[in-house]
Amino acid sequence: MTDAPLLNVSNYSVGFKTERGLARAVDGVSFTIGAGETLGIVGESGSGKSVLNRSIMGLIASSRQIETGSVLFDGSEMVNQDRQNFWGNRIGMIFQDPMTSLNPVMKVGKQVAEPLRQHLGMSKRQAIERTIELFTNVGIPSPAQRTKQYPHELSGGMRQRVMIAIALAAEPEFLIADEPTTALDVTVQKYILDLLNRLQAEHGMAMTLITHDLGIARGRTDQVLVMYGGRVMEHAPTEELFTHTRHPYTEALLASIPRLDHKKHARLTPIPGAPPNIVEPPPGCRFSPRCKYAQARCVQSSPTVDGAEHRYACFFPVGTDAGAEALASNRAAGETATGLKMSHFEVDA
């Protein structure tokens, strides 16, 4: 039991029945998280990060949803089971937009007290006292007064701290933070992320940190899962992923965000094109229409996620001879096998 990971996700898929067909929002995803560990989940908007996590929790209340595969949480199977007992109690969640994620017509103190009373059976008075402690712990000044305020009376950063207090109220073993800082000012982002890391360490909590910004995952996570069109593109221990990036999508993500260690090429290269249609995905590798390494093989068949510690799904990985050759031949041809002009990538060369 001690060796078993807290969360073990294997070959997990989530589809939505739509008029146009099955939307494969999550497609054959596998990973594990040990107690106290942090997993970063990274990918552009629409890559399936939120669906993955909400589905794991069983929070998607749609009869159109189809789940397959296996998700073991602390040894018990979650897929297609009622997971209500876990909500707030053993798994906490923080959402992207603190402006809309709090009930606008309920005092924030009461919103924190709810899970305390529900899961820990506290009396009203105990819950209020505990709420004030929690507010202090997440860095909310004059906590007693704040409990009596409504969300609209608080700033975005304060509201996100309230959200964190709510998620942590019942001391869950696992926290899912779904883009917790995306909607916040840059100045408060770092504070919230540091706060999450500190609380996680204090509580020995496992956590998934979902973000579309790879930079956020660095230094704050133990392992990173890169998702694209519902699939895992690359999955590795965090430092390994940054130092030995193998997947062209990960590389493209890195090139599209500002990085401190990138002094020479300060210029950013956005990824050309748009995320794939998940109802009718492109043939072969889903990233092929946007990949500068793409070869004929990438359109004919789909790479599987291979590897042990460091897994990735690519025929021509970055930093390998195969990858270098693919890039060289595309440069020579001026375009990729999917017709993407190489000039798009060479502007800063």
Ligand X SMILES: Nc1ncnc2c1ncn2[C@@H]1O[C@H](COP(=O)(O)OP(=O)(O)O)[C@@H](O)[C@H]1O
Q: Which residues bind ligand SF4 (CB under 6 A)?
A: 248, 285, 287-288, 291, 293-294, 298, 303, 314-316
Tokens for 64?
């159109």
Return the DSSP state at 24. E
Among the listed residues 50, 250, 288, 330, the single contact to Mg ion using CB under 5 A:
50
Contact pattern from residue 62 through residue 91 relative to ligand X, giving x for each residue in contact according to CB under 6 A and a dash for the rest: x-----------------------------
Rounded-to-integer distance, Cα 278 and Cα 23, Å: 5
What is the C-alpha separation between 96 and 84, in angstroms, rounded? 21
Let me know the angle formed at the C-alpha of 90 by 162 and 241, rounded to the nearest 5 degrees: 80
Listing DSSP states for 94-157 in one string gives E-S-TTTSS-TTS-HHHHHHHHHHHHH---HHHHHHHHHHHHHHTT-SSHHHHHTS-GGGS-HH
Q: Which does 177 bind (CB under 5 to 8 A by kind): ligand X, another protein, Mg ion, none?
A: none
Contacted entry of another protein, ligand SF4, Mg ion, none for residue 50, CB cut-off 5 to 8 Å set by kind: Mg ion
- Considering only CA atoms, which of 238, 203, 240, 211 is closest in space to residue 35? 203
51 binds ligand X (CB under 6 A): yes
Residue given tokens 């999550």 in the structure block? 26
| Per CB under 6 A, 177 contacts ligand X | no
* Binders in 79-98 for another protein, by CB under 8 A: 84, 87-89, 92-93, 95, 97
Q: How far is the CB of 251 from ligand X (least distance, A)?
A: 19
Interaction mask 167-206, another protein, x per CB under 8 A: x-xx------------------------------------
What secondary structure does DSSP assign to 38-71, as a single string? EEEEE--TTSSHHHHHHHHHT----TTEEEEEEE
Pairing of strands 174-178, 91-94: parallel
Q: Of the candidates 324, 323, 343, which has an alpha carbon nearest to the alpha carbon of residue 333? A: 343
The residue (of 50 and 160) whose beta carbon lies closer to Mg ion is 50
Cα separation, 338 vs 321, in Å, equals: 21
Residue 119's binding partner out of another protein, ligand SF4, ligand X, none, with CB under 5 to 8 Å set by partner kind: another protein
Choices 26-34, 47-55, 293-301, 336-344; region in contact with Mg ion by CB under 5 A: 47-55
How many residues of this chain bind another protein (CB under 8 A)? 30
Q: Lay out the site mask for another protein across 155-174 (x = CB under 8 A, - = otherwise).
A: --------x--xx-xx----
DSSP 341: B
Instruction: Give residues 9-48 in contact with ligand X (rule: CB under 6 A).
Output: 16, 18, 23, 25, 43, 45-48
Please report how close the Cβ of residue 198 comes to ligand X at its closest, in angstroms.
Answer: 25
The smaller minimum CB distance to another protein, of residues 43 and 88, is found at 88
25 binds, among ligand X, another protein, Mg ion, none (CB under 5 to 8 A by kind): ligand X
Residues at the contact surface with ligand X, assessed by CB under 6 A: 16, 18, 23, 25, 43, 45-51, 62, 278
